[in-house]
Amino acid sequence: MLKFPTLLALTAPFLLCSAAAFAQAGAPLPGQDPAIVAAEVENFLQTQAGSYAGTPSISVESPRINQQAACDHVAPFLPNGQRLRSRMTVGVRCMAPQAWTSYVQANISIQGYYYVANRTIQAGDTLSLSDLTGREGDLLRLPSGVVVDPSHAIGHIAAQRIQAGGTIKASALRDPDSIKRGQAVRTEARGVGFVATGEGTALQSGAPGTQIQVKSSSGQIVSGTVLNSNTVLVVL
């Protein structure tokens, strides 16, 4: 019978060779901790929700991610550039030490104020604070473009009829300094050392800072930048 020291001496080279082969083949890296990924996704969504005027409430489902290798830096992202929704999927990307991508489910709500019309507003009316009523709710469940900041409505002109109690959307308003298609406008053409003015008709609608086309009194079509409610700057 072989004594223990002798057996150890005989098996040691085999054990060393096996360990070396195992290391050369690459030992499996420890699995990714789901709690770390969930925390990163929650922080990411908190940051995204910061652009909303409300208080976010976020819950992230524990991801089934144990089979992925532990990551040095987890980078959450919104797939396909989607915006925040009540129920959504958040992507998680790892580049090192092993590249992988996974997806995590999350629920989010943002409680805040939005505004509705407290009377029937006709197209062409200029809105004042007395035309608005604030209501509280989940901003993510509202249609896109609903006004959540009264300053984005007060002084603006209704581009269409808004029913009493209806949500006020930015698309239903126009800036008081904007120009409407078909409107008579004044053009300013500026070059080196001169400024020339003229008259024309706007072929497009546009807010200040946007580019529109204007048909001049001579019939020429020019492009310019809206300066205010009746002036378009044409740069030569």
Mark which of 94, 110, 126 sits at the end of a domain.
110
Task: Residue 143: give the domain boundaries.
Answer: 111-174
Residues of the chain with pLDDT under 70: 1-29
**Residue-level pLDDT at 22:** 37
Mark which of 83, 110, 137 sits at the end of a domain.
110
- The span from the CA of 120 to the CA of 115, in Å, is 14
Asked if residue 120 belongs to a domain, the reply is yes
Residues 130 and 156 in one domain: yes
DSSP H or E stretch at residue 23:
helix 4-25
Counting Cα atoms < 13 Å in the Cβ hemisphere of 28 gives: 7
- The span from the CA of 149 to the CA of 147, in Å, is 6
Asked if residue 161 belongs to a domain, the reply is yes
199 close to 207: Cβ distance less than 8 angstroms: no
**Residue-level pLDDT at 193:** 80
Q: Is the pTM of this model over 0.85?
A: no
73 close to 96: Cβ distance less than 8 angstroms: yes
Asked if residue 12 belongs to a domain, the reply is no
Residues 59 and 102 in one domain: yes
**Residue-level pLDDT at 155:** 95
Asked if residue 124 belongs to a domain, the reply is yes
Q: Single out the residue of 35, 36, 38 nearest to residue 58, CA to CA.
A: 38
Residues 170 and 189 in one domain: no
Q: Single out the residue of 44, 39, 95 nearest to residue 69, CA to CA.
A: 95
**Residue-level pLDDT at 29:** 56
Mark which of 110, 127, 156 sits at the end of a domain.
110
Cα dihedral across residues 82, 85, 91, 92: positive or negative: positive
- The span from the CA of 174 to the CA of 184, in Å, is 17
Q: 197-200 contacts: CB < 8 A, separation 24 or more? A: 200/232
DSSP H or E stretch at residue 48:
helix 34-49
**Residue-level pLDDT at 88:** 96
Residues 44 and 106 in one domain: yes
Q: Rounded to the nearest 5°, which phi and psi values hold at 21?
A: -65, -40
Q: Single out the residue of 192, 151, 193, 197 nearest to residue 175, CA to CA.
A: 151
Residues 105 and 139 in one domain: no
**How many structural domains compose the chain?**
3
CATH at residue 197: 2.30.30.760
Residues 145 and 168 in one domain: yes
Q: What is the DSSP letter of 82?
A: P
Cα dihedral across residues 122, 127, 128, 129: positive or negative: positive
Residues 130 and 62 in one domain: no
Residues 126 and 169 in one domain: yes
**Tokens 């998680």 found at:** 92
Residues 105 and 116 in one domain: no
CATH at residue 135: 3.90.1210.10
Asked if residue 6 belongs to a domain, the reply is no
Cα dihedral across residues 92, 94, 95, 98: positive or negative: negative
Residues linked to residue 174 through DSSP beta bridges, in sequence order: 157
Residues 83 and 47 in one domain: yes
**Residue-level pLDDT at 153:** 96
Asked if residue 9 belongs to a domain, the reply is no
Asked if residue 19 belongs to a domain, the reply is no
Residues 120 and 79 in one domain: no
Asked if residue 195 belongs to a domain, the reply is yes
Q: Single out the residue of 147, 149, 150 nearest to residue 168, CA to CA.
A: 147
Residues 63 and 106 in one domain: yes
